Chain A
Amino acid sequence: MSFISVEDVKFSYDEDKNYVLNGLNLKIEKGEFVALLGHNGCGKSTAAKLLNAMFLPDEGTVVVDNMITSDEKLTYEIRRNVGLVLQNPDNQLVASVIEEDVAFGPENLGVPPEEIRERVDKALRTVGMYEYRKHAPHKLSGGQKQRVAIAGILAMHPECVVFDEPTAMLDPSGRDEVMNTILRLKENGITVVLITHYMDEAVMADRVVVMDNGNILTVGTPREVFSQVHLLKKHSLDVPQATELIYKLSGAGLKFDEMPLNTEECVNFLEGVLK
């Protein structure tokens, strides 16, 4: 059984059955890092909110770690298990001192005080914000705030963290900070679902799922997905500039075995034809 299993899910925000998700099927394995792509309004954020029982499907089922989200008795356990990090860091921090903010989750779970201390310190170390534990959140940069928000979730000991465009409001170095933190979570065995518009972030995932019109358009490893440049462009999505250049060159008759995903690969491929 997969860690997360979404089966034939339909979901609509209104009574008229304008389905935002229209028969979605998706399986995510434990410890996997999955990137979810798609244009605005394709249903990816809705899908994310179904994963931790924030929304419940109109039809079909969502099962997380053997718990079905439609069972109300399991709601809190599912939400502890699947943390959600959103776009705007300012909307996610509640306390006036960073370590208190991180302690908010475990406190509400009724974790004993000594253990809260331990969890908070560990979570802050994982995201590299331990030195700032006594600081006030509003003085931090965007990337630092996002890392504190991630620590707040880690302190609840989740098995999975869902990120909904966590870097959209950050500057380039803030984006790097958050992406490095996400990769560290994966190393620690946490399942990661990343919703993003940045293709250079999606290439770091184990698997890329492209959504369109409330359903899956294509799915595969980053290389498999980004090789379908034509399909992605047709659905108003982008590919990394490295991939686009090689795609254009192969259109002009040059031969490449595969599509590059990053700067280094692209340079090597180009050297291959220029030499």
Chain B
Amino acid sequence: MSIIEVKNLSFTYGIGTPFEKKAVDDVSLCVNEGEVIGLIGHTGSGKSTFVQMLNGLIKPTSGQVLLEGKDIWEKSKEIRKICFKVGMVFQYPEYQLFDETVYKDISFGPRNKGLSEEEIDLTVRKAAKFVGLSDRLLNKSPFDLSGGEKRRAAIAGVIAMDPDVLVLDEPTAGLDPKGREVLLAQIMGYHKERKNTIFFVSHSMEDISRIADRVMVMNKGRLEMLDTPKNIFAQVEKIESMGLRVPQITKIMMTLRERGYDITDGVLTVEQAFSEIINLLEKEGKI
């Protein structure tokens, strides 16, 4: 069953002013429960506007967002409740930490959800564990944490609300390779256990190709492509014409394929490329 259904969704900024701009243009798709959707597109392609309509932060100019079959704007006075179901982690979420301690910061969401102290304590600790923050750090001021720890604390604050749908806007930007690796593994670990639905916005095609079940490609406000990473990144020219890139490894293997070598379409990881090459050599009896 689809958890989110987006129907002909559009949003125009500054209607009736000289700055009128259609940011999202007639986007429709169905997302199944438990799916990981990667969302790519160049700056200004409408990704952020789109995801902000998923949890009611922006009201669509036209079209609908159905969450479990119900239009989220049906009772517009209760739109804020949607934030608990569709959790949003913004870009550079560490700038939004505000409370005295990490513990208090993470508990802000569950407290506003109206949970009891006991439940709050449980969810805070669970969320902290998911993102790999030790108990020792919970009583520290969030401003004493390292960059990577701050990022994880901010994500824990959203996870603590236990949303069915989690939207992550560039969660790995600015982290070093190891920090990226660890955070991705934690998000995927959480996903495996919670079986929630994830929207993952990123400029890192390597990250997207590793975790997404399906990829949305946005261009000039429209949903240009929606397919598996393999099928998306196989279309190098189309992707590049939209100001995006395919992972380097994909490009290497595509080039070999074009030069006549027997290589599968849409190789996405170094591991895959490695076995492709080894298989090819074995088949030809070269090793």
Name A's B-contacting residues (CB within 8 A): 38-41, 87, 141-143, 165, 168-174, 197, 200, 236-238, 240-242, 244-245, 248-249, 252-254, 263, 266-267, 270-271, 273-274
Report how far A201 CA is from B179 CA in the complex, Å: 19
Task: Determine the chain B residues whose CB is within 8 A of the CB of A87 once the complex forms.
Answer: 174
Contact A170–B147 (Cβ < 8 Å):
no
What's the Cα separation between A270 and B179 when bound, in Å? 31
Q: Which of B250-287 contact A (CB under 8 A)?
A: 251-252, 255-256, 259, 261, 270, 273-274, 277-278, 280-281, 284, 286-287
Are the CB atoms of A168 and B206 closer together than 8 Å?
no
Which of B97-105, B185-193, B239-247 is near enough to bind chain A? B239-247
A267 to B263, CA, bound (A): 13
Please report the C-alpha to C-alpha distance between residue A253 and residue B286 in the assembled complex, in whole angstroms. Answer: 12
Identify A241's interface contact among B173, B244, B247, CB under 8 A: B247
Question: In the complex the two chains form, is A241's CB within 8 Å of B176's CB?
Answer: no
Q: List 19 A-B contacts (CB under 8 A).
A: A39-B179, A40-B179, A87-B174, A141-B43, A165-B174, A171-B203, A237-B178, A241-B249, A241-B252, A242-B249, A245-B252, A249-B274, A249-B277, A252-B278, A267-B256, A270-B252, A271-B259, A273-B281, A274-B281
**Interface: B69 (CB within 8 A):** no
- Taking CB atoms, residues of chain B closer than 8 Å to A142 are 43
3 nearest CB pairs, A to B:
A236-B178, A173-B243, A238-B177
B-chain residues with CB within 8 Å of residue A170 when the two chains form the complex: 43, 203
Is A236 a contact partner of B176 (Cβ separation < 8 A)?
yes
Residues of B within 8 A of A237 (CB): 176-178
CB within 8 A of B244: which of A40, A172, A242, A273?
A172
Q: How far is the CA of A71 from the CA of B112 in the complex (A)?
A: 54
Complex Cα gap A84–B147 (Å): 21
A-B contact count (CB 8 A): 106
In the assembly, what is the distance between CA of A271 and CA of B43, in Å? 36
Q: Does B139 contact A (CB under 8 A)?
A: no
Interface residues on B, range: 35 or more
Pick the residue among B41, B177, B255, B277 that contacts A263 (CB under 8 A): B255
Which of B146, B245, B249, B287 contacts A172, CB < 8 Å?
B245
| B249–A245 touching, CB < 8 Å | yes
Q: How far is the CB of B34 from chain A (nearest CB, A)?
A: 28
B150 to chain A, nearest CB (A): 11
- Cβ–Cβ contact A270 & B256, under 8 A: yes
A171 touches B43 (CB 8 A): yes
Across-interface contacts of B146 in A (CB, < 8 A): 40-41
B277/A253 in contact, CB under 8 A: no
Q: Is the CB of B270 within 8 A of A39?
A: no
Measured CA separation A238–B245 after assembly (Å): 19
Provide the residues of chain B in CB contact with A241, threshold 8 Å.
206, 247-249, 252, 270
B51 CB, nearest partner CB in chain A, Å: 16
Q: Once the chains bind, are A171 and B42 in contact (CB under 8 Å)?
A: yes
Task: From known contacts A249-B277, A271-B256, infer whether A236 and B249 are also in contact, taking CB-CB under 8 Å.
Answer: no
Most buried by B among A171, A197, A249, A263: A171
Q: B154 to chain A: closest CB distance in Å?
A: 16
Whether A143 pairs with B43 at a CB distance below 8 angstroms is yes
How far apart sit A170 and B259, CA to CA, in the bound complex (Å)? 33
B270:A245 contact, CB within 8 angstroms: yes
Chain B residue, CB-CB nearest to A238: B177
A241-B249, A267-B256 known; 20 new pairs, CB 8 Å cut-off, are A39-B176, A41-B146, A165-B174, A171-B244, A172-B203, A197-B177, A200-B248, A236-B176, A237-B177, A242-B248, A242-B249, A245-B249, A245-B252, A245-B273, A252-B287, A253-B287, A263-B252, A270-B256, A274-B256, A274-B277
Decide yes or no: A39 and B177 within 8 Å by CB, A249-B274, A252-B278 being known contacts: yes
CB-CB under 8 A from A270, the residues of chain B are 252, 256, 277
CA A124 – CA B136 in complex, angstroms? 50
Pairwise interchain contact B176-A40, C-beta atoms closer than 8 A? yes
Chain A nearest Cβ from B237, distance in angstroms: 15
Q: Which chain A residues lie closer than 8 Å to B203 at the CB level?
A: 170-172
